[in-house]
Amino acid sequence: KAGVTQTPRYLIKTRGQQVTLSCSPISGHRSVSWYQQTPGQGLQFLFEYFSETQRNKGNFPGRFSGRQFSNSRSEMNVSTLELGDSALYLCASSLKQDSPLHFGNGTRLTVT
Amino acid sequence: SQQGEEDPQALSIQEGENATMNCSYKTSINNLQWYRQNSGRGLVHLILIRSNEREKHSGRLRVTLDTSKKSSSLLITASRAADTASYFCATEKASNYQLIWGAGTKLIIKP
């Protein structure tokens, strides 16, 4: 069974631009969560989608948005990029609540 | 602020020794999970222990959960260089199923 796939692996963007990251969950997993990881703030929860609906949301500004498609694939978008958005963005899928998360290898975003 | 807190923040031991990491949390939980992360990569699930369980084993890993003290420990026995990684605990809140993450313990195994 293929694991969680995140694309692209690396991204370099300029302040003010926008970016879209993609995540393909494990087949059969309907829940997809997104996290931001930085050395200073650790692992911060962005949002979780289940069956195309946002089920939970972290404390991030509205510049961070996401969506989930009918095939459970998910995208997250960050608009008006800031230097502080430089981070490793991780996607994870799970079968249901009360079950482990399966993470992708992340997208490393650098904002210059 | 994050519910889970791990200690120590960093741990350096000799290969072959045992490593113990602790995690504390604040609210009622459904389960507590431990993950490992190698540098710059995604997290890998290690063990999930439910609130009605006290101890769980997986190979060289042993996890205990004390709900009265709201704490858990992860023991890695007979450590190997390949165990060098950051270890995170995550608690699933009973109220809304949200996962709350600790800041992680950085484990270094010296050959």
A4, A29, A43, best to mutate vs chain B, most B CBs in 10 Å: A43
Give the confidence band of B1 by pLDDT, cuts at 50, 70, 90: very low
Residues of B with Cβ-Cβ distance to A90 under 8 angstroms: 42-43
Is a pLDDT exceeding 70 seen at residue B26? yes
Q: What does each C-alpha distance from B27 to A35, A76, A88, B34, B47 come to in angstroms? A: 22, 30, 28, 17, 20
Q: Which residues of B touch A (CB under 8 A)?
A: 2, 30-31, 33, 35, 40-45, 48, 50, 88, 90, 92, 96-99, 101-104
DSSP state of B10: E
Nearest-by-CA chain A residue for B46: A100
Q: Which residue has the higher pLDDT, B99 or A24?
A: A24
Residue owning tokens 């290969």: B15
Q: How far apart are CA B97 and CA A91, in angstroms?
A: 18
Of A45, A99, A103, the CB nearest to B42: A103
A51-107 pLDDT, tens per residue? 999 998 999 999 999 999 999 999 999 999 999 999 999 999 999 878 899 999 999
Quick one: tokens of B93?
């809140």
